[in-house]
Each structure stands twice: as C-alpha cells, then as structure tokens.
Structure 1
Amino acid sequence: MTLDDLQKKEVRQWIDDGLKVADIQKKLEESFGLSMTYMEVRFLVDDLGVMPKDDPEPEPEVIDPAEEAAVPQPDPLAEGAPGPENDLGELVDDGMDAPPAGGKVSVTIDQLARPGMRISGKVTFSDQQSAGWYLDDYGQLGLSPDQEGYKPSQNDLMEFQMALQAQLSRGGF
C-alpha cells in the first residue's frame, strides 16, 4: 500500500486544494484503486507532512453601539403593550403584574442536606408561607411547600431564585 512519488505529489495537491481526509480517502479509491481506512489515510497525510486546511472562521458581525441604541425598543410596560398569551392566542394573567405581597423572601441552607439531595434548605415567601427547597444531583431545583397545594407567586419565585443564588455564592457552592 505504498504510494510512488507521483501519487504522493497528487495527494499533496488534493490537500492543498482543501480536500478533507474523507474526500482524499474516496479519491485514493477512485484514482489509484487503493482501499484505505480513514485512519490509514490520516496516517498517510501525517507522513506526507501536510495538514488539511480548516474551514475559515466566519467573521463576527460587528454591531455599532450607536446603531443599536438608535433602534427603538418596545416598552413592555407601556399601556396597550401585548401581554403573555396562551396556546389559543388569548391574553392570560401571568401573575407578573402583582407587586410582592408586602415582604421579602428569605432563604436558609441546611447544615446537613436532605437524604439523596446535593443541598437543601428552607424558604419563607412574602406571604409568610414556608417551603423546603432542594437541589438534586442533576442540578434540578425543587420545592416542597409546608402547606399542601400552596403555590408561591411568580414574583416570589423569581426573588427566591435570586436569593438562593446569592446564598449559594456566599456559601461557596
């Protein structure tokens, strides 16, 4: 399975033309009747001391900050702005308009995590309802409210996630 000097020169030319290893493998079969595995062709290319060309990196799109600022952005809080819709295109109440119910969300981290959990703790929402929270080995966050059927508001959930992230950062997690 050795190539003569003329065949080696032709393989070098194919590489210079930008052919990939798989393309060279096909050309060797078509042109010289040599059936080689991909790895054998890769070794051949390496032995010839040439490297297939990589595809050129696409140029990153440069955005002028002045142009970006000139494009008017719709105000999501403006009167008459479209709100969240359900699958039927009807507007639905997502609970985001309601201000917090008069308090803050507080988060604590357990010294000893619940069995089977990476980390766990307690959260008290703005309406003074409490729930246990946990982070499992897959990184999924879960809540188990103390009162069955309780669902915190969207604002409380967002505040909980931010407070939890801050607590975990402080704790070195």
Structure 2
Amino acid sequence: MDITESQKSTIADWVKRGETIAIIQRRLREEMELSLTYMDVRFLVDDLNLVYSEPEEICEIEEESAVNEEPIQESDSIEEPELVSSVEVNVDPVTPPGALVCGTVNFSDGKQMAWQLSAAGQLGLVPGDDPDYRPNPEDLQEFQSQLQQVLQKHGY
C-alpha cells in the first residue's frame, strides 16, 4: 500500500477535524479508492504519528444532563430498599477435572443444583435429584449476578 504525501496530509486533516476511524475508512475507500480494514486505518493513523482520540459522547451526554437537572435537596433523598437475596451461591474447595471452578446454588424455591465453569468459560448447571427441574428466570439472573461477585472474591 503506497500512500502519497498529499494523501497523508489529507488523512492528517481528517484526524485533526476529529473524524472517527470508521469515517476515515469510508472516505479512504470513496475518495482515494483505498480499501482498508478498520484496524489497518488505526495502524495507518499511528504510523503517520497522528494523535487520535475517540470522541467522548458519553461524557458530553452526562454534562448536558447535569446542566438540566435540579439539585436534590435533603428532603428529596431516595431510600433504596435493602435487597434480600433468596439465591445462595457456594464454591466447592475441590474442582473436578475439566472444570475451572464449581459449586452449588440454592434457589428461592429450596431446590439445589450444582454448577461448574469449564476451562473454556462455559457455565453449566448440573441437574440434581429432579432432572426436569428448571429454576425461574429471576433466580437464574440472581444466580449469575451472585456467581460473578463470588468468583471475583475468589480471584477468578
């Protein structure tokens, strides 16, 4: 891929104007007939020693919403209800072959199932005494949330 000095200066102008990589990629294809991948365009910008920063749209949105909000007074404070979980996740100290970590989960209806996270990152629930048992969706969501917290505590 050979890029002329005039093309380099045009690309530099696009970067200085704050064009996104995707827009630069499209303009290269349409205006200069250069078909590059997104990553190639990123590398090109880097190779030309141009400083590119992704636009921070999220920050702009937060700043705009902060301007439009009224300050909350002490009497307006919102109390968050204390959540009591009916799902309990435990990690087993011994891990079977093929699993990264495993344990048990007690669901809100009193049923218990084993779970395991494979070395490939697949999470599975192991049926217990009742192979037809399916926990309700709320319990599954709570299980996944608690499992993430428990695994972070254990350094996974």
Question: TM-score, normalization: structure 1?
Answer: 0.48
**Separation (CA, whole Å) in 2 of partners of 1:110 and 1:64:** 45
Q: Is the Cα–Cα contact under 8 Å of residues 107 and 163 in structure 1 kept in the other structure?
A: yes
**Separation (CA, whole Å) in 2 of partners of 1:158 and 1:66:** 32
Q: 2:144 aligns with which of 136, 142, 161?
A: 161
Q: Hey, what does 1:24 align to over in structure 2?
A: none
Q: Hey, what does 1:30 align to over in structure 2?
A: none
**Separation (CA, whole Å) in 2 of partners of 1:59 and 1:112:** 45
Q: Hey, what does 1:137 align to over in structure 2?
A: 119
- Give me the identity figure in percent: 33
Q: Which runs of 5 or more structure 2 residues have no equivalent in the other structure?
A: 12-45, 70-83
- Deviations along 1:80-134, one digit per CA (max 9) or x if unpaired, are xxxxxxxxxxxxxxxxxxxxxx961111111111221111111110101111101
Greater C-alpha Rg: 1
Give secondary structure in 1 for the equivalent of 2:119. coil
CA-based RMSD: 3.4
Q: Hey, what does 1:88 align to over in structure 2?
A: none
Deviation at 1:152, TM superposition (A): 0.8
Q: Which runs of 5 or more structure 1 residues have no equivalent in the other structure?
A: 1-10, 21-50, 72-101
Q: Hey, what does 1:118 align to over in structure 2?
A: 100
2:11 matches 1:14 = no
- Deviations along 1:53-89, one digit per CA (max 9) or x if unpaired, are 2566366144143533659xxxxxxxxxxxxxxxxxx
Q: Hey, what does 1:57 align to over in structure 2?
A: 52
Q: Hey, what does 2:64 align to over in structure 1?
A: 67
2:154 matches 1:171 = yes
* Structure in which a larger fraction of residues adopt helix: 2
Question: TM-score, normalization: structure 2?
Answer: 0.52
The letter for the 1-side match of 2:55 is P
